[in-house]
Each structure stands twice: as C-alpha cells, then as structure tokens.
Chains A and B, each alone.
Chain A
Amino acid sequence: METSSGKSSGMGPVAHTAVYDVIIIGAGIVGAAAFRELCKYDLRVLLLDSLHDVGGDASRANSAILHGGFDPQPGTLMSDLNKEGVQLWFQWTQELSIDVEWTGSLVLAFNDVDIAEITRLYHNGKKVRVPVKFLGRDETLRREPVVNPEVRASLYAPVSGIIDPFQAVVALVGSGLKNGGKLVLDTEVTHLVKLPDGYIAVQTNHGELRAKVVINAAGLNAAHIMRMAGEDWFSIHPRRGQYFILDRNVGNLVRHVIFRAPTPKGKGVLVSRTTHGNLLIGPTAEDLTEPDRRTTAEGLAEVLQGAKYLVPFPYERHAIAQYAGLRAIGSVDDFVVQHSKVMEGLINAAGIKSPGLTAAPGIAHRLIELVTDLLTLEEKRDFDPYFEFPPILRELPYVDRERLIKEDPTYGHMVCRCELVTEGEIKSVLRMQPAATDLDSIKRRVRATAGRCQGGFCTPRIIDILSRELNLSYDQVTKFGRNSKLVYGDNRRGDA
C-alpha cells in the first residue's frame, strides 16, 4: 500500500491502514457532512479528495445561501432534503460554530409571469410546510426599500439565510477528524473494483485503498466515478455561475437575500450579503460541456445587469473580486442519493446541484440510512459533537484579545490589514485540523487576502509565514497546491 504522496491530515503519515469500513470520495459539502455523521459511529472512515484542501469545487464557489425550501418540486428528494437540511443546519451551525445568519429571503415579482411563479412557490411552500408569506408591493418596499420600485409583489421566506460555506466544510471535516476519521488529500481515484471478499478496491494515483462501503460524493465527477463502477445511466454536465464580491462598505445594501422569480434556467441572479459582511451578486447559469471555471466579460456583464434590475446600485464601483463556480447538473432532475445499481457497497450522491449546500445535512442523513443497509452501525460513546475554530480576534471583546496577545504576542501582529487577521491566527490555522497549507486555504479559514486589497499587502508576509512555519523554500509556497507557486524563489540565495 503506497499512499504516502497523498497528503493526510488527522493522523501522522497517510493511512497506516489501507482498509476502511467507509471511504468517502469527495471532500465537498456533501462528503464533509457524511464524514462528520459517519464518525459518530464505530467505523473506520476515510475522506478522500483530489484537491489540495477540503472544500471541493462547487462547495467553495456558490451563492452561500441556505434556501427556504419552497423552490424544489414537492415530493422530490430535493424538496425533502432541502427542508431537512435547513432544520439540521440550525443545530449544526451551533454545534460546529459555523457562521450563519437567518436573514430571510425575498423573491421579487415584476410582472404577471413572475406573480404566477411566486404564487406557485407560495403553494409549494405551504405544501411542504415551510414558512412563506406573500407580500404586496408596499410591504416588500417596507422590508427592503432599495429594491427596484417597479416591484409588484414578493414571496418572503423567513427561515432562510446565509452561511459561510468554507467554514462549514472545514468544521464538518474537523469534527470528523476529531472523532477518529481520516483525511487524505491530493489523491485522485482512478478505478473501482469489486473484490471477491466483498470489499471495494479504490485505486488511486497514490496506491490502492479498500473499503466495505464507498460513498461517491464526487460532485462534478460523480458520474465519472459511477462509470468506474460500470454504471452509465447517469451523466453530469457543468453549469457555470459567475459572481461578483463587493466591498464590505456596501454589504448592508440589502437585509434579505434578494431573488428574482425563477425561470426554467434556475433561480437567476441574486443580491445578498455574506456572513463576512461583503455583498455578493450572481450567478449566471451557463450550461457547459467541459468544466471551465473562467469568468467572462459577457457573464460578468450579465451578473451586473441582473443585479441592477433587482436592486439598482453602482456595483462595479465597489467590486473587489469575481469568481466562477460549477454546479453539477445531472441527467435526472433530482438529487440521486441511492445504492449503486451495479456495484454492491457503492452509494452514490450525485447530481447535487442547488440547493445542495442547504440540503447537505439531509443528504448526509440519507447516506447514513443507506450505509445501515450494508453495515451495522454502533454509536461511539465518546463522540464529541462540538467543534471550535481557533480564535478569530476581530470577533472577540478587547479584553479577550489582550489576554491572547499576552499569551502569544503574534496575536498582536496584524498581517491582513483589510480583514484584520493577525500572524497568530494564521499560525493557528496551519496547526488546526484540517490544516491550511497554502495561501487560499488560509483565506478560507481566517479571511486573510479576502478583503478589499485582495492580498496586495499580506501575500508577501504570508509567503514568509508559510515558508517559516511549514519549513518550505519560497518556491514551494503555493496559492492552492500543485504548481500554483507564488514566486520562483529567492534571488538573494546565492549571496547568502
């Protein structure tokens, strides 16, 4: 068994055993949620991902919204799991100290077609018993005075909101690791083979692993994994969504998550605050044949136009970043969470498009039920449901900051000036589990480089910290692993 080039987190060198009860492929929000929940039981659980950090692909480039549950067609799995997901996030965000705000959402209607659509959504909501209210023009404008005054009505869903999706994945994986699970990154699955002894061999670019049960939570690659098991009834194509992030100074433009009445293409462009106080607008919905995470001039223009229609505002003047994410659109118009039709022991969670982030806890519970069909689950007596991030100083009272600085003066040394992140906080996420190892994984844990200067000031300082703390040469310090090196080395080395 050779997995040593895969980076592991949790326990020492990679997987001291290659045999597991459950292997989860994909450390996005679904894989992370399943990992956390499976680690409640007396099982050997491994979470595997091809990327350099947890957080997957779609799970780190989305709208960061917890959807109210009125949108999916009643009776579908999406509908059930959306509703269950909202309930569970209520509990999980508290247990795992994940940033969440139950802001409520408004779906705006500007014409008769829109009104018919929000009327349908209202009835959906009533049918699946999630709270919804139909608001007239005046009440809509009273709740949210900045929306386009041509608005005619809106659908208000009080139990919906915004969440930090990066933090959510990190906390879920951290909780699983804390309770005995293992994590291996930078490792790509190449083959799945059903062995005569009942195990599934998971072959990777770093050697072979075995498990009784394999959960396929591979996001955009889920259909690819299914085909490895000989299962070809399902396909996935990427749907690209482009976004703008705006300065925190304008984050309070809206109080709720603002949508336009949906069209067959999806929910359209939304305007929302993030849990960090930035403003977020997007996404587009572009069906692609191949994964392409580039933003485009046309796509970004479409986002601006869509957002300006909902809430007129000079967004471009306050822009600090743009990104594109890919949603996994399956050939079946519902989530697929079921046993493989071909390979016993393989469970697929595929076609997890929006509202995948909201539904993830529900999907995880459904996956546990499916695992129960195959394994006997015994609850661990010492399972610890709580997870805490290392201290975030900007959220602490001054006396607590003072105490931390006295313990470790690097907590008083400001590295990221925009988001007020100290050297001590950056060091702490290099040591936490799952650990940050590069610039982007630091950003997702403590926000350094995520502010209005986008790392202009702190990137050089973080290169120094990463080099020093992880004992890397400067050309080994990366933005997000592999060859994403930040600099080519030290020009002065020869003179040293």
Chain B
Amino acid sequence: MFVAVVGGGPAGMAAAVSAKRAGADRVVIIERAERLGGVLPQCIHSGFGVNYYGEDLTGPEFAERLRADVKASSVEVWLNAMVIEARPDKTLIISTPHGISFVKPDAVIFAVGARERPRGAIAIPGARPAGVYTAGTAQYMINIQGFEVGKEVFVLGSGDIGLITARRMALEGAKVHGVAELMPFPGGLARNVQQCLKDFNIPLLLSHTVTEVLGSERVEAVKVAQVENGKTVPGTEKVFPVDTLVLSVGLLPEAELIRQMGLPILPYTGSAAVDQFFQTDLPGVYVVGNGVGIWDLVDNVAMSASVAGSHAVKYEGRSSDLAEVLPGVGVRVVIPQRLSLGESDVPRIWFRVACPIPVGVALLTRGEEVIARKGFAGLKPAEMAEFPLKEEQYRAIRPGDKLHLRVQQP
C-alpha cells in the first residue's frame, strides 16, 4: 500500500504518520516548501495542541512534535517538491530541484491547506501602492524572515490571524491604529480579542471596513467607514495615516489539484465533498485539514488528517451506501458532506454557524423529519462545533438521504 500525502503541514504530517501506523508499506509526504510544518513555524504564539497533545504549545513546538512523529515512523519526506498536476487516475506530477517526477500511489491524501483571500477578492478601491499584505504574509515576513514590515499599521478583518498579527506588529514596535471588522461581531476567538487587542489597547471597530487605499508608492493612508446593511454609512469615514494595511479577510482551501482530479468544488467550503473518513467521491482520494474546509484549531486539522490516514490504509474503495449532509438555515459549513453508512463507528459531524447564536438548537433533518437535535449555547462563527450523532440516529439514516443541518433560535 503506497500512500502519497500532498502537503507537509500539520494535516499532512498527521495523515502520513497515521497511515504509516496503520500499516502502509510506503508513505511519502510531498512538500513544496523547504521545510515541514506548513504555516505552523510562523505561528509563534501559543494555543496549539490542547486537544491533540493535551498541552498548550506554540506553532513551532506543535510542528516539532509532529516532525518527530514523522521521523520516528519512517515516512519519506520530499521537500521543495510541488505537485504541478494531479490526474484522476491518481498520477501526480511533481516538480523538484532534481527534475520532474511521476508517482502513482494507491491512495492520495490532499493536505494542501488554504490560501488567504487577497485585497482583490474583496475589491477594496483606491491606489495600488506597496504595503498591502495579507496577515499570513506579514506574519511570515516578521517571524520567519525577520523583516520590519510596517511602522504604522491598520488591520482589516478580526479573524484570529488578523488579531494575532496586530499584536505581533505591536510587539515589533509598530503602531497599530486599529482593527476593522465588517461584521457586528469579532471574527476570531474571544480569547484572542482580549489577549491581542484589549491587552494592547488596539481599538476594534466593529461594523467598519476599509473603503479606500491611498498612496502612490507606499501606502500613505487608509479610509475606514462604518457599514450598515452591507453599505457604508455616509459621513462616518475616517482617515488613518498608516504605511501598511494588513488583511485578514478569510481563507480559501487551496483546491486547484482537487479540481484537476475532476472533483466538483462545493461553493460553501471551496473544496470537494468528503465523507466522515475525509474520502472524496473518488475512491482512494482524500482531502484533509484546511484543504477540505477552514477549521478553527490546528488540533482539528491534525485530527481530521489522522482519520483519513488510517482509513486510506484499512479500507479499499468506499461503501456505495451514502447519505448527503447539507448546510441548512443558520449554518455556513458542514463537514463531512457525505456519510458512509453501515460503518462500525458513528461519524462525527462538525459545523460552523453563520452568525453568533447565544442559545439555540441544532437540528439534523430529512425533509420535514427531525433525525437528531441538540441544544447549544454560545455558538460563534469563529468556532467549529461538533454535532453529537447517536448510534441509533446514525443507523436510521438511509442510503440516498439528503440531510440538512440547521440552527434554530428560540
């Protein structure tokens, strides 16, 4: 059994280790960067690993743990190696500094991660000077390269990466003038709002956005205005004299290779549909980590990958008895979107709400019929929640069922 893992971030490493432990003869990690770890080495803050390792670790520490596991389990690692073409028959064509390689594994696990949405994805008007960076790019330049990225900074987007980058730049001596968030609630975890902004006296401007970038060569200022019902409110515009705009406006699964395999891309996850083992509709092809949908914690990324890694070895093909799970009212994302039926373990289902739900009920429905329900408190779009499916509920699902997961407020 030959398993190729595309991507050597937390998902790729966890998938490779679990495939090897499950008895794969050969496991290869194909990593395009010069080192394993994905984005973890640049995430020098803590908060990683509480669920997966039972310890609070920094990004580099979490990566180091996984790297040690990879080393100990005799997984092959190809660095500076990028898959440039993936064919539906699972042939991978790889560009490396040694030449072009072709491999044809029995199973492929795509652990390709996500990319950040750039300025152009949200069409911020204005000039196009130097000094507009996505948060992850700024973080890489600061933490890996040691660059001074900006002196006067404004951040758009209060996702976790935005919040953490705001704090990081403040620690590096920059003045962070503020963080604007389009929504009336912060995009990141509550602990990050406290630890990254409040503790550093960085203002958070909810229901605000950047309406214009100014500057002919380097950024000279950004205009920020209040937003109501998706429109900027006239007269609320403020000018912040900054040299750097940092954007944390969302992540998108890096689904190019998955698309090349001929798999349809779901509009609400930006990637292929998978079942509870993270297997796609192509037998032996898996998508894990942020490549399958954006997770909140790296622990979940690694966990999803472990499930796929061992499944890829133990199972051949997939049961044809499938049900479909779709996001219903109030739910933005559901993972998985397929349920393989008749499996010994009850599948885990994760979901992310579209807006904060202080108290509510999540319902799994088949048409009008409620299959399962669960009360929740404090659901936030920033966090993945798990829907606890019970054994008898799972067994009641029939092949071909179209299930919806929706959220109701009292």
Do A and B assemble together?
yes
Q: Which of B32, B128, B133 contacts A417 (CB 8 A)?
A: B32
**Cα-based distance from A249 to B98 in the complex (angstroms):** 30
- Pick the residue among A297, A406, A491 that contacts B125 (CB under 8 A): A297
Min distance, Cβ B372 to any Cβ of chain A, angstroms: 33
Q: Which listed segment binds B: A211-219, A222-230, A482-490?
A: A482-490
Q: Which residues of B contact A455 (CB under 8 A)?
A: 118, 137
Interface residues of A in 416-435 (CB under 8 A from B): 417-418, 420, 422
- Judge whether A478 and B147 touch: CB under 8 Å: no
Shortest Cβ distance from B172 into A: residue: A491
Inter-subunit contact B99/A412 (CB<8 Å): yes
B130 with A405: CB separation less than 8 A:
no
In the assembly, what is the distance between CA of A60 and CA of B140, in Å? 30
Q: Establish whether residues B97 and A410, one from each chain, have CB atoms under 8 Å apart when the complex forms.
A: yes
Q: Is the CB of B115 within 8 A of A294?
A: no
CB of B336 within 8 Å of the partner chain: no
When A295-B125, A320-B120 are in contact, do A486 and B130 touch as well, CB less than 8 Å?
yes
Instruction: Give B140 Cβ to nearest chain A Cβ, in Å.
Output: 5
Q: Using a Cβ cutoff of 8 Å, how many contacts connect chains A and B?
A: 144
Instruction: Please report which residues of chain A, range 437-474, place their CB below 8 angstroms from some CB of chain B when the two chains form the complex.
Output: 439, 452-457, 459-460, 463-464, 474
For the complex, what is the distance from the CA of A322 to the CA of B121, rounded to whole Å?
A: 9
Interface of chain B, helix or strand or loop or mixed? mixed
B322 to chain A, nearest CB (A): 27
**When the two chains form the complex, which single residue of B95, B98, B123, B211 contacts A322, counting CB atoms closer than 8 Å?**
B123
Question: A402-B99, A453-B115 are contacts. A490–B146 as well, Cβ < 8 Å?
Answer: yes
**Which one of B136, B147, B218 lies within 8 Å of A483 (CB-CB)?**
B218
Q: Is the CB of A294 within 8 A of B126?
A: yes
B259: Cβ under 8 A from any A Cβ: yes
The reply to whether B129 and A412 form a contact with Cβ atoms under 8 Å apart is: no
Q: Are A478 and B146 in contact (CB under 8 A)?
A: no
CB of A233, distance to nearest CB on chain B (Å): 31
Q: Are B115 and A492 in contact (CB under 8 A)?
A: no
Of B134, B172, B218, the residue contacting A484 (CB under 8 A) is: B218
Given the interface pairs A402-B100, A460-B141, A485-B218, the reply to whether A300 lies near B125 with Cβ below 8 Å is yes
A residues less than 8 Å from B98 (CB atoms):
405, 409, 412
Nearest residue, chain A, Cβ from B118: A454
- Let me know if B217 and A483 touch, CB within 8 A: yes
Using known A-B contacts A294-B212, A319-B121, A414-B82, determine if residue A485 contacts B130 with beta carbons closer than 8 Å.
Answer: yes
Interface pair A405/B97, CB less than 8 Å apart: yes
- Is the Cβ of B123 less than 8 Å from the Cβ of A484? no
Q: Which residues of A contact B211 (CB under 8 A)?
A: 297
10 tightest CB-CB pairs across the interface, nearest first?
Answer: A454-B118, A321-B120, A492-B146, A479-B130, A409-B97, A412-B97, A487-B147, A488-B148, A483-B217, A484-B217
Taking Cβ atoms with an 8 Å cutoff, the residues of B that contact A are 32, 80, 82, 84, 93, 95-100, 115-116, 118-121, 123, 125-131, 133-134, 136-137, 140-142, 144-151, 172, 211-212, 217-218, 232, 254, 259
